[in-house]
């Protein structure tokens, strides 16, 4: 297997090549490490590498292949992990200075399930600090560049995860999505990214940003790989009280079912002012192709969409304010050694350890939760969240999935929006509502702009409706040729 083929390598190709003796898991891991060493200096998708652990796992898979054992579903597949998910012995910084030097003593459940399925875990991936951002420019360890256009952002917060797949530094990766942090980077980098239903994939071992919103999901090169990853990751976990015991579907098998007769809802609120004409045209073309395959296209309305962004930024920041209070310099990570009192140590550690965007969100969230403002902001936002959820439930009463843009614009230039937080927050306009409602969603490539920048189409499914969502995603992918 040649290194130039790594950019297009899929899970099935890896497993088949190892089972057939055409390569080894060890050789594939080394090829990926060589590629990272030679090309990732420019893109900066990885923060740390786990070579010893990866090669030990690869050797285990190679021994199985030599014995003729039945290989597990992700046998020898090189995978990267977003640095907000913990891995035993590996740095877990969440791209923040405040966790510099922290090495957790346990694995996240998602990490455990990947390794049990045979995956080779290459290392930890760059992201926006504590997953707060839409461009991956908020990392304390430097921004990630988009492999499709090095002057552009890869999207955030899982920019390193999307970039690593697009650049061929991993066959698949794990990311997290709180308000669009899987779907937006997938669209910007031209890969597939899946937001599972809230509770579908365990959050145990995820460094929390907003606990009622955070979700773990995969980035892959095609829809079938995404379905296979989701089958491995999904299911009840006793370590996560919010994980669901709803049975896990046959996601890969579902891809074989035709989409003829499926009802596709098109939310009118997602096609209004501010949507780039090239993105509109690409999404409408995807809808036309679905119609030609026998889908029924129906307009729907999600009338509270205009309140989604402010609602999200009240709830998410409030939960961040609570979650991030644990980083105080006492138990793990950074501690300011110059402080004379405990209160001073808290203040100096947090001031030096948190970046500007994280501080901004902590301040916003603390204000929203403060006495005298709780009812006006946090309580009101939760009430609007209920209305947004009802919008989706009403729409899904008449359709099977929704199809819409992922983002209002293609990938923007590095530094273009860093001085205007509101403009940056509005990048999430088509993604945060699904996050608030807890439904599943994904981004699938559906073309590119005249400048060659990727365009993604967003497919949204009902709660635990991943099978229908993936079927439509596969149809879109097939129609793209």
- The CA distance from 460 to 314, in Å, is 23
Quote the mean pLDDT of the chain.
Answer: 97
* Whole-number pLDDT of residue 475: 98
| Nearest partner of 408 among 285, 269, 287, 307, judged by Cα | 269
Structural contact between residues 407 and 427, judged by C-beta atoms closer than 8 angstroms: yes
pLDDT of 15 above 90? yes
Mean pLDDT of 459-467: 98
What is the torsion angle, in degrees rounded to the nearest 10, for the CA atoms of residue 425, residue 430, residue 431 and residue 437? Answer: 120
Structural contact between residues 113 and 156, judged by C-beta atoms closer than 8 angstroms: no
pLDDT one-digit tens code per residue, 260-316: 999 999 999 999 999 999 999 999 999 999 999 999 999 999 999 999 999 999 999
* Whole-number pLDDT of residue 480: 87
Q: Which member of 96, 157, 161, 431 is catalytic?
A: 157
- The CA distance from 96 to 47, in Å, is 11
Mean pLDDT of 399-428: 96
pLDDT one-digit tens code per residue, 340-395: 999 999 999 999 999 999 999 999 999 999 988 999 999 999 999 999 999 999 99
Mean pLDDT of 101-107: 95
* Whole-number pLDDT of residue 133: 97
157 is catalytic: yes
* Whole-number pLDDT of residue 4: 62
Query: Taking the alpha carbons of 458, 459, 465, 471 in that order, is the dihedral positive or negative?
Result: negative
pLDDT class for 5, splitting at 50, 70, 90? confident
Mean pLDDT of 150-159: 98
Q: Which member of 181, 202, 243, 468 is catalytic?
A: 181
Q: Which member of 48, 50, 82, 124 is catalytic?
A: 82
* Whole-number pLDDT of residue 130: 98
Question: What percent of the chain clears pLDDT 70, i.e. is strictly above it?
Answer: 99
Mean pLDDT of 56-77: 98
pLDDT of 152 above 70? yes
Buried b (16+ CB within 10 A) or exposed e, 170-202: bbbbbbbbbbbbbbbbbbbbbbbbbbbbbbbbb
Q: Three-state SS for 414?
A: coil
Structural contact between residues 46 and 91, judged by C-beta atoms closer than 8 angstroms: no
Which structural domains are found in the chain, ordered by start? Answer: 3-254 (3.90.1300.10), 263-306+386-479 (3.90.1300.10), 310-376 (no CATH)
| Nearest partner of 100 among 390, 435, 333, 446, judged by Cα | 333
Mean pLDDT of 190-217: 98
pLDDT of 49 above 70? yes
pLDDT one-digit tens code per residue, 315-337: 999 999 999 999 999 988 899 98
* Whole-number pLDDT of residue 337: 87
Element housing 263 (H / E): strand 263-267
Neighbours of 343 (CB within 10 A): 9
181 is catalytic: yes
DSSP 95: T
7 is catalytic: no
* C-alpha to C-alpha distances, 295 to 187, 260, 264, 391, nearest whole angstrom: 23, 5, 7, 22
Mean pLDDT of 135-143: 98
């Amino acid at each position: 297997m040649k290194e130039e083929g790594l950019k297009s390598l899929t899970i099935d190709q890896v497993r088949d090549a190892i089972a057939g003796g055409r390569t080894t898991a060890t050789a594939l891991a080394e090829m990926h490490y060589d590629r990272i060493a030679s090309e990732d200096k420019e893109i900066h998708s990885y923060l740390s590498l786990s070579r010893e652990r990866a090669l030990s796992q690869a050797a285990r898979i190679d021994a199985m292949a030599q014995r003729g054992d039945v290989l597990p579903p992700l046998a020898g597949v090189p995978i990267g992990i977003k640095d907000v998910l913990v891995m035993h012995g590996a740095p877990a910084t969440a791209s923040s200075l405040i966790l510099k030097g922290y090495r957790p003593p346990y694995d996240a459940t998602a990490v455990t399930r990947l390794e049990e399925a045979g995956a080779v875990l290459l290392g930890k991936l760059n992201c926006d600090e504590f997953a707060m951002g839409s461009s991956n420019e908020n990392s304390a360890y430097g921004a990630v560049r988009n492999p499709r256009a090095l002057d552009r952002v890869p999207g955030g917060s899982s920019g390193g995860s999307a970039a690593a797949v697009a650049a061929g530094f991993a066959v698949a990766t794990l990311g997290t999505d709180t308000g669009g942090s899987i779907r937006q980077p997938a669209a910007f980098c031209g890969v597939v990214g899946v937001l599972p239903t809230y509770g579908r994939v365990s959050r145990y071992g995820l460094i929390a940003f907003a606990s009622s919103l955070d979700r773990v999901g995969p980035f892959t090169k095609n829809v079938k790989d995404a379905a296979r990853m989701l089958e491995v990751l999904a299911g009840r976990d006793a370590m996560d009280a919010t994980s669901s015991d709803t049975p896990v579907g046959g996601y890969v098998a579902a891809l074989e079912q035709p989409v003829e007769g499926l009802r596709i809802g098109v939310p009118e609120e997602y096609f209004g002012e501010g949507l780039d004409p090239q993105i509109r045209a690409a999404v409408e073309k995807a809808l036309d192709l679905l119609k030609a395959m026998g889908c029924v296209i129906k307009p729907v309305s999600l009338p509270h969409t205009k309140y989604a962004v402010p609602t999200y930024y009240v709830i998410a920041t409030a939960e961040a304010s609570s979650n991030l209070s644990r980083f105080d310099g006492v138990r793990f990570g950074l501690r300011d050694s110059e402080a004379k009192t405990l209160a001073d140590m808290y203040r100096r550690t947090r001031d030096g350890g948190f970046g500007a965007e994280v501080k901004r969100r902590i301040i916003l969230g603390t204000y929203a939760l403060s006495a005298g403002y709780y009812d006006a902001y946090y309580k009101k936002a939760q009430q609007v969240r209920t209305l947004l959820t009802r919008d989706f439930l009403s729409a899904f009463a008449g359709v099977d999935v929704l199809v819409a843009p992922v983002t209002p614009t293609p990938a923007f230039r590095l530094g273009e929006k860093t001085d205007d937080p509101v403009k940056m927050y509005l990048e999430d306009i088509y993604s945060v509502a699904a996050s608030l409602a807890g439904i599943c969603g994904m981004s699938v490539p559906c073309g590119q702009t005249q400048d060659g920048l990727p365009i993604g189409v967003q497919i949204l499914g009902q709660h635990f409706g991943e099978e229908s969502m993936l079927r439509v995603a596969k149809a879109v992918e097939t129609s793209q040729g």
